[in-house]
Structure 1
Amino acid sequence: MLRRRLLPLALVVPLVGTFFCSVRAGETPLAPEPPPPAPAVIEVAPLAGFSTRDFDWVDAPRQRKVPVRLYLPDSAAAGKAVPLIVFSHGIGGSRQGYSYLGRFWASRGYASLHLQHVGSDRGVWQGNVFNVVGRLQAAAQEGEALARVHDLRFALDQLLGGELAAHIDAERIVAAGHSYGANTTLLAVGARVERDGQPIALRDARLKAAIVISAPPFYGESSVQRILGAIEVPSLHVTATDDVIRVPGYYSPAEDRLAVYEATGGPRKTLAVFAGGSHSIFTDRGGTGGTVLNPQVKQATQALSLAFLRSVFDGDAAALAQWPQQFGSLVSRYKHPGP
């Protein structure tokens, strides 16, 4: 039995997600704001040529629902097998979230499967408002952190073993996620966690790369380098200078996102740090991080993720090298491995 959490809880603003981090001495965390009734979605690029499908899968052995939303390019429906991105939301999110990414990727020829993790999804906002903190803390327990990785594996099994299998290129699959979902992504692509001296088998070999947005650190573990250094796939890390996480009892500064990048192993790592921004600027919400900056960062994140995908699957790193020239005014720091 697992006796402790993979990482202590950390919460962010509504529909953003959580992650695992610990309180720092002298810090006074802020209470999370209540979730908006209907987050606005800002469309930041011309989008067309795809369909959206919802599936309500159930993993019977685990007695766990795994709802998903699939953004499927029209080229796949026409018989072409397309690459796939499997996206994991942050705490309090759902399969409807991060649609600005799913829609964009699908319009550019990449299928995008957005998971909903029922143990840490929008259900945490439902019920007695005075019990929200308790529900959030329960959602960040180790059992849920591991269950999210199994959700990802199960969803891939369902998609690749079902009627749409011929439309997906099983050799070109990427994991992606924001906040708590970034932790899920890192675990699924090879982050090494041990209990009682034995590694927990979480790596899914079908995943060829990782897009890691606002990743929390693995607090509570003896060595972040030991955990993340085991990763062997290319990774893209996206954050912002004001990517700070605050909740009652827990706090994580923006520097933690950089620590995750530095500790991650793999042959090719790319880092983009936006100037300003916020932890929730990478969600569908339109007002966080500044009404002017928000859509610009979303558009830059779309372009960066596409450049990364092309470098991984097509061997073309030119767009990664040129990306800062297009969005340089938004960028505080950028590192990429080169050709």
Structure 2
Amino acid sequence: MHTIVSARPVVLPSPGRGEDLQARVTAPVTGRDLPVIVFSHGFGWSMDGYAPLADHWAAHGFAVIQPTHLDSRTLNLAPDDPRTPEIWRFRVDDLIGAIDGLDALEAAVPGLAGRLDPTRVAVAGHSWGGQSASMLLGARVAGEPGDRTDKRVTAGVLLAAPGSGDELTPFATEHLPFMKPDFAHMTTPALVVAGDHDQSHLTTRGPDWFTDPYTLGAGPKALLTLFGAEHSLGGIVGTTVTETTDENPARVTLLQKLTTAYLRTALGVDEEAWPTARKELAAETEPLGSITAK
């Protein structure tokens, strides 16, 4: 485990966005050729959330970049702002912009210059951030033109990401028309994480809605189902966060371990990390989750 350093805000010029993109960068203080994880936060959050994941990944050899999207409560964008209907597009632009700006991000963090490996990049995201991240993996929004697949991204982790838009509630249908992901072209390898007690008010389906990125996704995928987990997956946003309805440190620890193992193997750091982690979970007498793969 590495000592880590975190810098914020690191600012990237973002013409056409209305304001520059702010991000947090967290990385180990030593090591070279660091693989990169670009993380997309859930609705309303910011670069300052998800420390249980970002800090853990950085302590295990990754550089983690957390952009703050326009829907963040820290920016307080007005509902009638002309950018509001297009925030889902801006979110994807933010993630691509962070990858485009890796050199600038390196230069802005003391001691980080020249230490990132731009050939090993993953995206990850929670909730709406999962849908945003999935677009770089090949997912699309049904009925919307354009393909935002980013070939620089070779792996993904989608945490409680929304499922298909076929069975949305009337509220979601009216107010969230972009929540119609099409996973048929999502061919980049990814780990999908779903809680089997995660009941969303955006769909008429049950918790299985969050398994759609795995079930409907193309290409190699793995599904981690966390037993008893709700939308916060045990508390990945942070400790003592009021939005966490299922606080469970053991579940968060498992998620830290399994996502790290998956990314280490998917990004070519350690080919045995993920197979070993799967075997260890399968061998537990009272596991907190299960893994399937295709």
Q: Is the TM-score greater than 0.5?
A: yes
CA distance in 2, matches of 1:140, 1:60: 13
Q: Where in structure 2 are the equivalents of 1:69-218 lying within 5 Å? A: 69-76=24-31, 80-118=32-70, 120-123=71-74, 135=79, 143-161=86-104, 163=107, 164=112, 166-193=114-141, 195=143, 199-218=145-164
1:28 paired residue number: none
Q: Where in structure 2 are the equivalents of 1:241-260 lying within 5 Å? A: 241-246=196-201, 253-260=206-213
Alpha-carbon distance, 1:166 to partner: 1.9
- Look up the equivalent residue of 1:203 and give its one-letter code: T
- Look up the equivalent residue of 1:172 and give its one-letter code: R
Aligned length: 270
CA distance in 1, matches of 2:4, 2:166: 42
CA distance in 1, matches of 2:153, 2:229: 29
CA distance in 2, matches of 1:306, 1:59: 31
- Cα 1:256–1:194, aligned 2, differ >3 Å: closer, same or farther? closer
Alpha-carbon distance, 1:286 to partner: 3.8
SS at match of 1:210: strand
CA distance in 1, matches of 2:73, 2:213: 26
Q: Please say if residues 276 and 289 of structure 1, whose CA atoms lie closer than 8 Å, have aligned partners that are also in contact.
A: no
Instruction: Identify the match of residue 53 of structure 1 among 1, 4, 7.
Output: 7
- Cα 1:220–1:336, aligned 2, differ >3 Å: closer, same or farther? closer
What are the ranges of 5 or more consecutive residues in structure 2 without an aligned counterpart? 168-178
CA distance in 2, matches of 1:142, 1:210: 26
- Look up the equivalent residue of 1:176 and give its one-letter code: A
1:333 aligned to 2:290?
Answer: yes
CA distance in 1, matches of 2:91, 2:19: 11
1:315 aligned to 2:268?
Answer: no
TM-score, normalized by length of structure 1? 0.71
- Look up the equivalent residue of 2:123 and give its one-letter code: A
CA deviation vs aligned residue, 1:247-294 (integer Å, no higher than 9, x gap):
7xx66631101222100112x211111111210233214463444xx1
CA deviation vs aligned residue, 1:61-84 (integer Å, no higher than 9, x gap):
3333311101111224xxx12000
More helix by share: 1
- Look up the equivalent residue of 1:308 and give its one-letter code: Y
- Cα 1:226–1:65, aligned 2, differ >3 Å: closer, same or farther? closer
CA deviation vs aligned residue, 1:77-103 (integer Å, no higher than 9, x gap):
xxx120000000000101010011110
Alpha-carbon distance, 1:123 to partner: 4.0
SS at match of 1:61: coil
Instruction: Identify the match of residue 63 of structure 1 among 18, 22, 30.
Output: 18
CA distance in 2, matches of 1:238, 1:140: 30
TM-score, normalized by length of structure 2? 0.81
- Look up the equivalent residue of 2:154 and give its one-letter code: K
CA distance in 2, matches of 1:152, 1:226: 17
1:276 aligned to 2:228?
Answer: yes
Q: Please say if residues 166 and 180 of structure 2, whose CA atoms lie closer than 8 Å, have aligned partners that are also in contact.
A: no
CA distance in 1, matches of 2:66, 2:284: 27
CA distance in 2, matches of 1:319, 1:176: 22
Alpha-carbon distance, 1:52 to partner: 0.4
1:295 paired residue number: 249
What are the ranges of 5 or more consecutive residues in structure 1 without an aligned counterpart? 1-46, 128-133
- Look up the equivalent residue of 1:122 and give its one-letter code: R
1:265 aligned to 2:218?
Answer: yes
CA deviation vs aligned residue, 1:287-308 (integer Å, no higher than 9, x gap):
63444xx111110000001110
CA deviation vs aligned residue, 1:184-229 (integer Å, no higher than 9, x gap):
0111111134657xx41311111111100001024169xx999212
Q: Please say if residues 272 and 333 of structure 1, whose CA atoms lie closer than 8 Å, have aligned partners that are also in contact.
A: yes
Q: Please say if residues 84 and 113 of structure 1, whose CA atoms lie closer than 8 Å, have aligned partners that are also in contact.
A: yes
2:192 paired residue number: 237
Q: Please say if residues 239 and 257 of structure 1, whose CA atoms lie closer than 8 Å, have aligned partners that are also in contact.
A: yes
- Cα 1:94–1:81, aligned 2, differ >3 Å: closer, same or farther? same
CA distance in 1, matches of 2:181, 2:11: 37
- Identity within the alignment, %: 25
- Look up the equivalent residue of 1:333 and give its one-letter code: S
Q: Please say if residues 282 and 290 of structure 2, whose CA atoms lie closer than 8 Å, have aligned partners that are also in contact.
A: no
